[in-house]
Amino acid sequence: MTVLEVLTYPDARLKRVADPVERFDAALRGFVADLVRTMAAGPAAVGIAAPQVGRLQRLVIVDVSTRPRAAGHGRLVLINPEITAWEGHAVGREGCLSVPDYTGNVIRAECIRLSARDEHGGSVDYEMEGFEARVVQHEMDHLDGLLFLDRLVSRRSDLFARRDRGKGS
């Protein structure tokens, strides 16, 4: 297993759209292991996406189990992930391994339903909310060449209004 180099903005590769994974083979699983190792090697990351190490494939890893307040599903390997349902919106603070020394507020869906493949090609489905849902949305943005910088909202955003909007609608 290898710790891979994490690209940092403004590396142009972070702004490209990644391709779907087609081969679920040993090479892919080796890459997943490297990505897990890379995520663990740096600061206390809760997710990483393949494009962050220069591999333009639709693959992310999410693991919020290190955050005591965050309910989650443990370590998730999500390949070709698709969000199939959203509900609610909330403002939350985000930073990124690829954008050192900056955090800012971003609006994300509060609850999501998600379909993906695991590293063996099997179908997986999840429902998640709160912090874990936010991390998944942050990582999936990397697959479309988007950074949280592209979604920053003003620090003066009205948290009450944002949070209420969309609930039950």
Among 37, 75, 93, 167, binds another protein (CB under 8 A): 93
Q: Which is nearer to another protein, 96 or 109 (CB)?
A: 96
Among 67, 89, 113, 151, binds another protein (CB under 8 A): 67
Asked if residues 40 and 46 have their Cβ atoms less than 8 Å apart, the reply is no
**# chain residues binding another protein, by CB under 8 A:** 30
Establish if 159 lies at the interface with another protein (CB under 8 A): yes
Rounded to whole angstroms, the maximal C-alpha distance in the chain is: 48
Asked if residues 98 and 53 have their Cβ atoms less than 8 Å apart, the reply is no
Residues 47-66 that bind another protein (CB under 8 A): 47-49, 62
- Clarify whether 132 is annotated catalytic: no
Establish if 102 lies at the interface with another protein (CB under 8 A): yes
Q: What is the dihedral of CA 94, 98, 102, 106, to 10 degrees?
A: -30
Q: How far apart are CA 108 and CA 6, in angstroms?
A: 24
